[in-house]
Structure 1
């Protein structure tokens, strides 16, 4: 049905946030750099040493040992990818550009094909939930208008469709239009598998200055391409070598994604039945 095809196209826009954003970005950036040397001159006073004279400079504490010392760039990259792919859940937040369209995301996903989160397009926002292989999507008027207009839906049909789904959750069951595409947003294993699609992208990289992401020390890995495109990945220096941040500058699809809440439970609740409308009930903006 015409309406189904248009709504499916809108759903694909949402799926593109993750499928064409963070996953390939991570694949291009999950690489390694050279181990940074520990700066000299950080010494602790031995017991019984003379007290510092008034006004004397206080020495900085010794930095923590570099957990990646002695590893080649490829070895650090392999560790980062392997650790991240082992995650049972994570949260993705940030902004990306897909096909020239700025998109904002905030998703929590687990390895049971469940997810919950937000998508932002222009001034519109939609909430997405998926559990038991059923996708629920609730967008405000700005979101639906931007999504449907971008797919060429005529204004009368947009208006009629909005009346049917206003303040309600669109319920998309398995096999219905858009189910597979939106399910890709919540397929953690598939998303993380993309990290290892092109190992060639994890070669020829450098390691930048260490930094912090959310208070966690990270190794900064940089990939530069001809034309000015630069991708930077931050890899945790504590615990598992998870990828904590990905930033892409230049190119056609710049963006920044933060990965957090690794291995934490993802709580997803189905909306009340009386607040949902089944996709099969829509046909050209009118009840089936």
Structure 2
């Protein structure tokens, strides 16, 4: 159940105006470009720093890791709260809730059969795990910096990975576009060695130029992810104890 942190590096779009800003109807002037005088690299730096400072956001999109498609949709804040869902590469869906240093995952039958047990587990072992967890939440500790479902609740690690993975040198500014009704500056970077192009869209907002969308085409990890609901608190509640299975207890039993 490895979480593809590179899923975050991905995006694509069209053309519009920031909601609430000056319109583009006949006779009206376009809103001023908040990035006038800045290079594409400088805009990228500004966007990354602004997004890193968000206290919460939602991420949703699709990516490819190790040749298999994965999709996620989750919200996370800086207090360790998160909730959302993920679609497994080999089928099935799981809901995720994290709060108080613990992450809970509830998958459907297809999800546990395709991901359950250790790597290389037999169909019988995966089936047994699916039966044990049917309709129940798997309780897991949310360890800082760890991979797995707990990574969804680690905003600090997510923005750290974002900082390290986002190209900020040799960017090119393309024609502006639209992301869900918000005007965005479009920046791209082609990596010939990796055979991939990363394009991301930055809100044309002088105060908060957040990254709104990232698209990676070609290479080993193509995909698209959108970011939104910036600084919106995440409300997450742990499921009832009688509906959970403690992973630590499972591990003890296995050993």
Instruction: Please state which band the TM-score falls in when normalised by the shorter chain.
Output: 0.7 to 0.9
8 Å contact kept, 1:96–1:104: yes
The structural deviation recorded for 1:233 is: 0.3
CA–CA distance in 2 between the matches of 1:169 and 1:95? 24
- 1:282 Cα deviation after fit: 2.5
Aligned position for 1:194:
161
1:83 to 22, 32, 50: 50
Residue 246 in structure 1 maps to residue 214 in structure 2: yes
- Determine the C-alpha separation between the residues in 2 that align with 1:144 and 1:155: 11
CA 1:210/1:60 → structure 2, altered by over 3 Å: closer, same or farther? farther
CA–CA separation in structure 1 for the residues paired with 2:62 and 2:134: 26
Detail structure 1 runs of 4+ shifted over 6 Å in the superposition: none
Q: Give the structure with higher Rg (CA).
A: 1
Q: CA deviation at 1:226?
A: 1.1
Matched positions, count: 239
Instruction: Indicate the SS of the match to 1:153.
Output: coil
Contact 1:173 1:179 in 2 (8 A): no
Once the two structures are overlaid, the 10-residue window that deviates more, 231-240 or 58-67, is 58-67
1:280 to 236, 248, 252: 248
Structure 2 alignment gaps of length 5 or more = 12-23
Q: Is the CA contact (8 Å cut-off) linking 1:210 and 1:220 kept in structure 2? A: yes
**1:163–1:70 CA distance, 2 compared to 1 (3 A):** same
Find the aligned partners of 1:116 and 1:161 in 2 and give their Cα distance.
23
Query: What does residue range 131-210 of structure 1 map to in structure 2 within 5 Å?
Result: 131-148=99-116, 151-173=119-141, 181-197=148-164, 201-210=167-176
In terms of fraction of residues, the more helix-rich structure is 1
> Within 2, Cα distance between the matches of 1:20 and 1:225?
15
Provide the C-alpha distance between the structure 2 equivalents of 1:193 and 1:287, rounded to a whole number of angstroms: 34
2:87 to 102, 105, 120: 120
How far does residue 184 in structure 1 lie from its aligned partner after superposition?
A: 2.3
The corresponding residue for 1:105 is: 72
Runs of 5+ in structure 1 lacking a partner? Answer: 1-9, 30-43, 45-57
The alpha-carbon distance between structure 1 residues 283 and 265, as it changes in their structure 2 partners (threshold 3 A), is: closer
DSSP 3-state at the match of 1:74: helix
For 1:222 and 1:135, how far apart are their aligned partners in 2? 35
Alignment correspondent of 2:7 = 21
Counterpart CA distance in 2 for 1:257 and 1:150 is 29
User: Residue by residue, what CA displacement relative to the aligned partner does 1:83-137 show, whole Å, maximum 9, x if unpaired?
Assistant: 0010000000000111111001001000112211100014310011111111111
Change beyond 3 A, Cα 1:73–1:112: same
CA distance in 1, matches of 2:212, 2:49: 14
- Hey, what's the Cα distance between the residues in 1 that align with 2:105 and 2:155? 19
Distance 1:252 1:267, change over 3 A: same
TM-score (norm 1): 0.76
Q: Distance in 2 between matches of 1:99 and 1:124?
A: 18
Whether the 8 Å CA contact 1:113–1:183 is kept in 2: the answer is: no
Distance in structure 1 (CA, Å) of the matches to 2:249 and 2:182: 48
* Partner SS, residue 209 of structure 1: coil
Structure 2 distance, partners of 1:160, 1:169, is 15
